Amino acid sequence: MSVNPSEGSGSEVKWFGEDFEQIDRFGRSVPGFGEADAEVVADLKQKGWKDEAADQLQLQPESNQQRPAPVTMETASTAIDLLYWRDLKQTGILFGSLLLLLFSLTQFSVVSVIAYLALAALSATISFRIYKSVLQAIQKTDEGHPFKAYLDLEISLSQEQIQKYADNAQLYLNSTMKELRRLFLVQDLVDSLKFAVLMWLLTYVGALFNGLTLLIMAVISMFTMPVVYEKYQAQIDQYLGLVRTHVNSVVGKIQAKIPGAKSKAE
């Protein structure tokens, strides 16, 4: 009875006999291959080691594997590109549409604006549909519905997306409620006083501007301030630092004079 020299004495299995019958370390007999299939056995064994390594890699925890970027990060990146005018065409269309909508709301009611927008969209789509139908009838072609690509487009939200948006909304709502409770119940006297001063200033702002005017100003600021700050960042940071230092000095003096008001650093 000969021993195959390809297997060392320290291996878990041994090969005995000319038929290469495999005897494992538990004494169980497993039929092997003939001599003609020795190369196939070697290839299978080498492949087995590779498959085992691949299985171990797949069994690694998810934290060690590369995950796809979250959808929220992609959305934030798209918003930043729009606000910084990375694509002039897309930003211009969005900016112009928002301003047109807001200026329309200053002249007409919300119901009228929605109705006019719906009528304009329907006029465009119906006219295009009739034009394509007449063109197909004249040319005797069958191109199908002109909006087939958009009709087949999936626009429904999945259960996971709805759950994700609901969780985000719940998180923001809970944070806002906790912050308002902290301010109105005077958990921190200085923060509550700051909030009161802000509300007092907003009374003057509300007397000068209505809500739509403030919204228009906010939209214009959103699409102009990031670009201006990116261009003059050094100068703006310098002046903001001076203002922040002056405000902190005034707040410190107020905290020193108000009984029971302690700075957060303490």
What is the per-residue pLDDT for 139?
A: 86
Coil/strand/helix, residue 29: strand
Which one is predicted more confidently, 23 or 236?
236
For residue 54, CA distances in Å to 44, 57, 60, 124, 248 come to 15, 5, 10, 56, 59
Cα–Cα distance for residue pair 123/45, rounded to 1 Å: 70
- The per-residue pLDDT for range 179-222, each reduced to its tens digit, is 999 999 999 888 898 899 999 999 998 888 888 899 999 999 99
Average pLDDT over residues 34-48: 51
pLDDT category, 131, cuts 50, 70, 90? very high
Q: Are 83 and 223 in contact (CB under 8 A)?
A: yes
- Give me the mean pLDDT over the 125-146 stretch: 89
> Does this model's pTM top 0.75?
no
CA separation, residue 111 to residues 104, 106, 116, 219 (Å): 11, 12, 9, 22
pLDDT higher than 70, residue 82: yes
Q: Report whether 56 contacts 48 (CB < 8 A).
A: no
Between the alpha carbon of residue 104 and those of residues 89, 97, 111, 212, 216, the distances in Å are 22, 10, 11, 10, 11
